[in-house]
Amino acid sequence: MKVLVTGGAGFIGSHYVRSMLAGAYPGYEDAEITVLDKVTYAGSLDNLPTDDPRLFFVRGDVCDQDLLRLLLPGHDMVVHFAAESHVDRSLQAAAAFVRTNVGGTQCLLETCVEVGVRTVVHVSTDEVYGSIPTGSWDENEPLLPNSPYAASKAGSDLIARAFWRTHGLDVRVTRCSNNYGPRQHPEKFLPRFITNLLSGLPVPLYGDGRNSREWLHVDDHCQAIQLVLTKGAAGEIYNVGGGTELTNREVTARLLELCGADWDLVRHVEDRKGHDLRYSIDDSKISRQLGYAPRWSFEEGLADLVAWYRDHPGFWEPLRALEGSA
Ligand code: NAD
């Protein structure tokens, strides 16, 4: 069995690859993995066990169709993580988001049709639905993305649907809530707050902190992706949630406690433009049909996460030095 993973040097993709290589996915203990990753600022080879004989790493762009034509033949399946993923960056400059997230997905799927790849899992996000004041979205909800990031992911979901409907490509889409876990880039909310607090620095809380998100441990997300790969159906969309919805203020309170800090380190900063107030997904379909059940409680996962960043300054200090920011 040969699996090609795009974006496998990033936060979620590398967790998926490491889990598969470690034998966490039944039936895939001998699978060979090719990772295709451009290694942007968000990716790192340090996230991968590059000396594992079952792993083959290729530095390249998912928009490079000639490269894909060389690489894809012989692979049974593709798990597509590669994307520009940070909402704040998409507010400053959206071109790379459209290029990679929409154009890259089109390029990948077109080549999968050409060379006869059997199955593709396209990893998307709950942000494609937009903000919801009450209740939860199911997979039939219309797409109403608000940030350029979310719009580019919605575009990629529609490309996936089109390749299924038009060309009969077996592509399955997952839409998950906010992930957390080790090895997330310190530009993102939880690692930014944790690494600031561990460094005794203030943390920037957007607006009044009432924005509410559902938190999903990266390991639960990767288990869900593997369920979709092995048991899902062509053309289907699966929401994946973590079950814990909290406001950013509530998350901040927990982080302060875990890091032994006080509210005097919290700075209220101008809200993100177009900041979605609330995301909430109904993931009963994947639970019912594929047997998905998250294993991590947020309480346990957050404590584990703080401990991981405390124990691994070698991961985040160089990235923060590159950013030159706090
Ligand atoms: P990440 O930013 O940590 O990693 C993205 C990876 O893609 C990096 O290794 C980067 O080098 C690579 N990449 C970027 N552009 C590329 C290109 N043109 N060609 C090849 N590789 C390229 O992102 P992540 O948090 O691991 O997210 C992975 C996927 O999950 C994304 O598709 C994202 O939209 C989705 N997602 C993430 C979250 C979350 O909370 N992190 C939530 C929902 C969905």
- Closest-CA residue, ligand 1 atom 35, reads 124
Q: How much distance in Å is there from the Cα of 166 to the middle of ligand 1?
A: 26
Ligand 1 within 6 A of 125 CB? yes
CB 283 within 8 A of CB 242: no
306 contacts: CB under 8 Å, gap ≥ 6: 194, 198, 255, 258, 259
Ligand 1 within 6 A of 152 CB? no
242 contacts: CB under 8 Å, gap ≥ 6: 177, 178, 214, 215, 216, 217, 220, 221, 294, 296, 298
Give per-residue pLDDT as tens, 103-120: 999 999 999 999 999 999
List 127, 214, 236, 276, catalytic entry: 127
DSSP 197-262: HHTT--EEEETTS--EEEEEEHHHHHHHHHHHHHH--TT-EEEE--SEEEEHHHHHHHHHHHHT--
Q: So what's the pLDDT on residue 324?
A: 67
Ligand 1 within 6 A of 97 CB? no
Q: So what's the pLDDT on residue 326?
A: 42
List 25, 28, 129, 149, catalytic entry: 149
Give per-residue pLDDT as tens, 242-268: 889 999 999 999 999 999 999 999 999
Radius of gyration of the chain from its Cα atoms, rounded to whole angstroms? 19
**Does residue 128 share a domain with residue 42?**
yes
**Does residue 202 share a domain with residue 98?**
no
Give per-residue pLDDT as tens, 183-212: 999 999 999 999 999 999 999 999 999 999
Q: How much distance in Å is there from the Cα of 50 to the middle of ligand 1?
A: 19
Q: Residue 160: which CATH number? A: 3.40.50.720
> 275 is written with which tokens?
């900041």
Atom of ligand 1 at shortest range from CA of 61: 19
Q: So what's the pLDDT on residue 119?
A: 98
**Does residue 198 share a domain with residue 66?**
no
**Does residue 198 share a domain with residue 149?**
no
Q: Residue 258: which CATH number? A: 3.90.25.10
**Does residue 234 share a domain with residue 133?**
yes
> 125 is written with which tokens?
């996000």
Q: Check pLDDT > 60 for residue 143.
A: yes
Q: How much distance in Å is there from the Cα of 262 to the middle of ligand 1?
A: 33
Q: How many CB atoms lie within 10 A of CB 321?
A: 9
For the residues 294-300, what does the mean pLDDT come to?
Answer: 97
**Does residue 136 share a domain with residue 66?**
yes
Residue 299 a catalytic site member? no
Ligand 1 within 6 A of 181 CB? no
Residue 126 a catalytic site member? yes
Q: Which amino acid is at 70?
A: L
**Does residue 228 share a domain with residue 88?**
yes
**Does residue 265 share a domain with residue 145?**
no
Ligand 1 within 6 A of 108 CB? no
Q: Check pLDDT > 80 for residue 137.
A: yes
Residue 311 a catalytic site member? no
**Does residue 235 share a domain with residue 251?**
no
**Does residue 169 share a domain with residue 39?**
yes
Domain interval for residue 233: 2-180+216-240
Give per-residue pLDDT as tens, 3-23: 999 999 999 999 999 999 999
Assigned domain for 286 exists: no
**Does residue 160 share a domain with residue 59?**
yes
Q: Total structural domains in the chain? A: 2
Calculate the CA 192 to chain-centre distance: 17
